[in-house]
Structure 1
């Protein structure tokens, strides 16, 4: 399964430009890191404006039908996830449904090195790692999973030489679960903590910068 290449230096630049910290949700930091949280969204480059730009185009799920987006099958996907059963079953269903789409690099899809697609843009044109993660996040949000229980993580994959990647992490049942486009399984984060080196994570409430732990 292909893995996308994130511009990690853009994340670092955003963090250096940030001001003020916000208290993170009381979950233990993942993958052995320390977290610095912030609700300062005033950045012009990097991950934060990509995320905010995507949310602006998403318009809280307002219908979309054009050459680059479609909301045609979204309600059916939400219904499938809601009908899967308990929250853990819903998480597994969202991961499986979104992972069916083909992996396409942003350059090939959008003519630029980095583009964060809305779920409707993803349904129309598919996408790369952060696009899978966004679609799963929005699908689970629609199914009733609280946004404070979810984060999209920018990580380096240690087993692949530190290449940049994106995953969705969902907190459920006192555990953190990793949803990755490279695998059909939903994984217990504590069992793969050496695989990922987090750089930054975010949801609609705030973002977190991750520092190496002890």
Structure 2
């Protein structure tokens, strides 16, 4: 009887903790949506609400990491591509996910970074993810994608705003990797797999500057707005 009561009390306490955590997350989501509405407008708030709704749905379901990748990729690939100079008035600006959603579009770095931060929030380990700078050979221009490594030695899957389907890196002969990074490390890419460790991600000034702006209170105004 005592064991039964102890188990019951434990389950009740666990339920209370989970409920409090869920409520805390909803409160944070509301703060984000409110801040985006005040800063960017109602259409931006709707996009942000859709993002938080997608995140919460994925967190409540028991699905594979590959399915998580697919949902995140599909969600963000619906946004529009636009050059930094036109949107932010800078040659190279890495937007936070809220700035990306607020403006309604961005360039390849913004797509990739929004996917990376969302996947991290959804529990995908940092050592399975990298942002990869590549040369898009068909376009003859530099480009950024997200790579997902199911295991450390695996050929990664590529999440790309130019390609709706998530495919293995070995199937993307149109991309020539240059370097990659995640939250901790920086690699020089000498193959379509791991690459050579070249130091800490903190060597990248744009990465450091971006991480300093992740606070919702530090949203930036774009030069134009792509509400749709």
Q: TM-score range by the shorter chain?
A: 0.5 to 0.7
Post-superposition shift, 1:208?
A: 1.2
> What's the TM-score once normalised by structure 1's chain length?
0.63
Give the 3-state SS of the residue equivalent to 2:93 in structure 1: coil
Q: Structure 2 matches for 1:67-106, cutoff 5 A?
A: 67=39, 72-82=49-59, 83=61, 85-106=63-84
Residue in 2 aligned with 1:200?
179
2:18 corresponds in structure 1 to none
Partner of residue 185, structure 1: 165
Partner of 2:129: 150
More helix per residue: 1 or 2? 2
Unaligned runs of 5+ in 1: 1-60
Tell me by how many angstroms 1:80 deviates. Answer: 3.6
Which SS does the other structure have where 1:185 is aligned? strand
Is 1:81–1:140's contact at 8 Å kept on the other side of the alignment?
A: no
What does 1:100-179 correspond to in 2, within 5 Å?
100-125=78-103, 126-161=105-140, 163-172=141-150, 174-179=154-159
Indicate if the aligned counterparts of 1:84 and 1:93 stay in contact, CA closer than 8 A.
no
The Cα of 1:76 is off from its aligned counterpart by: 1.2
Return 101-110 or 70-79, whichever deviates more: 70-79
Query: 2-side partners of 1:81 and 1:153: how far apart?
Result: 25
**Secondary structure, aligned partner of 1:201:** strand
Q: 2: distance between equivalents of 1:102 and 1:81?
A: 23
Larger gyration radius, structure 1 or structure 2: 2
Contact 1:170–1:176 under 8 Å retained in 2: yes
Q: TM-score, normalised by structure 2?
A: 0.59
Question: Displacement of 1:159 after TM fit?
Answer: 2.5
Q: What is the aligned residue count?
A: 151
Q: Structure 1 residues 107, 81: CA separation in 2 closer, same or farther (over 3 Å shift)?
A: farther
Deviation at 1:151, TM superposition (A): 0.4
Question: Could you say which structure has the greater relative contact order, defined with CA pairs below 8 angstroms and 6 or more residues apart?
Answer: 1
C-alpha RMSD of matched pairs (Å):
2.4
Query: Per-residue deviation at 1:74?
Result: 3.8
